[in-house]
Amino acid sequence: MHSNRAAEAPSKPPLVTFDHFQILRAIGKGSFGKVCIVQKRDTEKMYAMKYMNKQQCIERDEVRNVFRELEILQEIEHVFLVNLWYSFQDEEDMFMVVDLLLGGDLRYHLQQNVHFNEDAVKLYLCEMTLALDYLQSQHIIHRDIKPDNILLDEQGHAHLTDFNIATIIKDGERATALAGTKPYMAPEIFQSFVSGGTGYAFEVDWWSLGVTVFEVLRGWRPYEIHASNSVESLMQLFSTVSVQYNTAWPKDLVHLMRKLLTVNPEHRFSSLSHMQTAPYLSDINWDAVYEKKIDAGFVPNKGRLHCDPTFELEEMILESRPLHKKKKRLAKNRSREASKDSQSENDYLQECLEVVQSEFMIFNRENNLLATSVDPWYKRDNQLGALGTLERDAISLSSSPLLYRIVERHSFFSRSQKPPC
């Protein structure tokens, strides 16, 4: 009955590479990766491109984290995550192309002295609850929930990003690594490290969500914790210091926060079903939250980019391997390599680079979309979810006046051969 399906199917999209994108401007950076806005040349859709230098990742022993993040992102999709569209590589870098969220992260807005009202934060709490519930269904612990990793779209809805230290645990398993950002890490993570106990599971993300919600509402965190604090001092802190809640907060909000910031993970709210029992959220229509039908209490200014402007300046002036000069640089390197002896100056590094090159996971979500549209019997991984949602969320040039100005500005400077200011 399906014998003609293969003949009728159109060819798969070509392999996506760096050359398929126009680089517009830098908008962020992490410990070993940078992020820029890009436009796919054939569709004119806008994305964020994260790129990580291979040599730096090898030197910092970060390759395994990059590969783990890719492994996870290729298998998940959700309306409140920053979803992966493509992954590819060249000689220098590994690339991930993801949803473009133009509203900035919550950390940026806190640093801009934005005072989020209770309704805005309540919606973030609900949206992140759905995101964490989904991740839990996929056996994923994020391990780095914090304002820096919650991005807003142009309508003000929250999306979780950065799976660099996330991990997957199967039924009955426990994680044991000391991973996360100290001020947001749950007590049982430190306890597991100190005593080698039973480890930890999904509850740690709900603690981090509680810390994040507290900080966004109040402007500071419930515990004064810094990166320099020892694990032993933190264990003592959790056992002796009580969280001070704002007396102006509704009692139901305080009750919910206490449930999220419960030191004992067995008594902590740590699932969607738990959250739905909270009186503070009794008025929430969860279907409407999922469908983004609830207006956000804070809508970012659509006329500006919500990121540090120095990122672009650093990329253009200070970066030793700027992205906009990659094509010429790689061509020169290839010519130089062709004239070299086969013996590398650094055999170990070269060997590591070859391993990264061979093991890197290439991904193209368009292939999955094509397969499901052509073949209704195509067996999708249940993690992929409603792929049509992603198609709606991809940003086109016409949908954003700000992006239109960025593209026009880039084209002008390309013509005049002057760097962006």
**What does the pLDDT profile of the chain (421 residues) look like in tens digits?**
554 544 455 555 678 999 999 998 888 876 667 899 999 999 999 999 999 999 999 988 899 999 999 999 999 999 999 999 999 999 999 999 999 999 999 999 999 999 999 999 999 999 999 999 999 999 999 999 999 999 999 999 999 999 999 999 988 899 999 999 999 999 999 998 888 778 999 999 999 999 999 999 999 999 999 999 999 999 999 999 999 999 999 999 999 999 999 999 999 999 999 999 999 999 999 999 999 999 999 999 988 778 766 555 454 444 556 665 666 656 666 555 555 544 445 788 888 999 999 999 999 998 776 665 555 444 334 333 333 333 334 454 445 555 454 445 444 434 444 333 3
140 and 285 in a single domain? The answer is yes
Between the alpha carbon of residue 200 and those of residues 44, 102, 185, the distances in Å are 44, 34, 11
b/e sequence 241-277, b meaning 16+ C-beta within 10 Å: eeeebeeebeeebeebbebbbbeebeebbbbbebbee
In this structure, what CATH number is given to the domain that contains residue 246?
1.10.510.10
81 and 173 in a single domain? The answer is no
pLDDT reported for residue 4: 53
* C-alpha to C-alpha distance for 309 and 201, rounded to whole angstroms: 38
In this structure, what CATH number is given to the domain that contains residue 28?
3.30.200.20
134 and 38 in a single domain? The answer is no
57 and 158 in a single domain? The answer is no
278 and 146 in a single domain? The answer is yes
Question: Residue 150 falls within a domain, yes or no?
Answer: yes
Catalytic annotation, residues: 144
Give the bridge partners for 50, in sequence order: 35, 96
- Parent domain of 364: 5-101+306-416
Question: Residue 354 falls within a domain, yes or no?
Answer: yes
Question: Residue 175 falls within a domain, yes or no?
Answer: yes
Q: Last residue of some domain: 290, 318, 344?
A: 290
Question: Residue 69 falls within a domain, yes or no?
Answer: yes
116 and 12 in a single domain? The answer is no
- Quick one: which H or E segment has residue 218? helix 203-218
E strands along 349-393, which residues? 363-364
DSSP H helical ranges for 100-200? 106-111, 118-137, 187-195
pLDDT reported for residue 403: 47
Alpha-carbon dihedral of residues 394, 397, 403, 406, nearest 10 degrees? 130
At residue 26, the 3 state secondary structure works out as strand
171, burial (CB in 10 Å: exposed 0-12, middle 13-18, buried 19+) = exposed
- Is 326 annotated to bind a ligand? Reply is no
275 and 163 in a single domain? The answer is yes
* C-alpha to C-alpha distance for 322 and 326, rounded to whole angstroms: 7
Give ∠ CA 21-309-159 in degrees, rounded to 5: 65
pLDDT reported for residue 143: 98
DSSP string, 50-106: EEEEHHHHHHTT-HHHHHHHHHHHTT---TTB--EEEEEE-SSEEEEEE---TT-BH
Which tens digit of pLDDT belongs to each residue from 297-330?
Answer: 999 998 877 876 655 545 444 455 666 566 665 6
The answer to whether residues 23 and 411 touch, using CB atoms and an 8 Å cutoff, is no
253 and 164 in a single domain? The answer is yes
pLDDT reported for residue 307: 75
pLDDT reported for residue 28: 82
Question: Residue 421 falls within a domain, yes or no?
Answer: no
Q: Last residue of some domain: 290, 318, 336?
A: 290
Question: Residue 300 falls within a domain, yes or no?
Answer: no
Question: Residue 237 falls within a domain, yes or no?
Answer: yes
Task: Name the pTM for this structure.
Answer: 0.81
Which tens digit of pLDDT belongs to each residue from 133-146?
Answer: 999 999 999 999 99
255 and 326 in a single domain? The answer is no
Percentage helix, strand, coil, to 5, in the chain? 45, 15, 40
313 and 268 in a single domain? The answer is no
239 and 112 in a single domain? The answer is yes
176 and 119 in a single domain? The answer is yes
pLDDT reported for residue 198: 85
Task: For residue 336, give both structure tokens.
Answer: 């130089």
Directed axis angle between helix 251-260 and helix 203-218, to 10°? 140
pLDDT reported for residue 318: 46
Considering its fold, how many domains does the chain have in total? 2
Q: Last residue of some domain: 242, 257, 290?
A: 290
Question: Residue 295 falls within a domain, yes or no?
Answer: no
127, burial (CB in 10 Å: exposed 0-12, middle 13-18, buried 19+) = buried
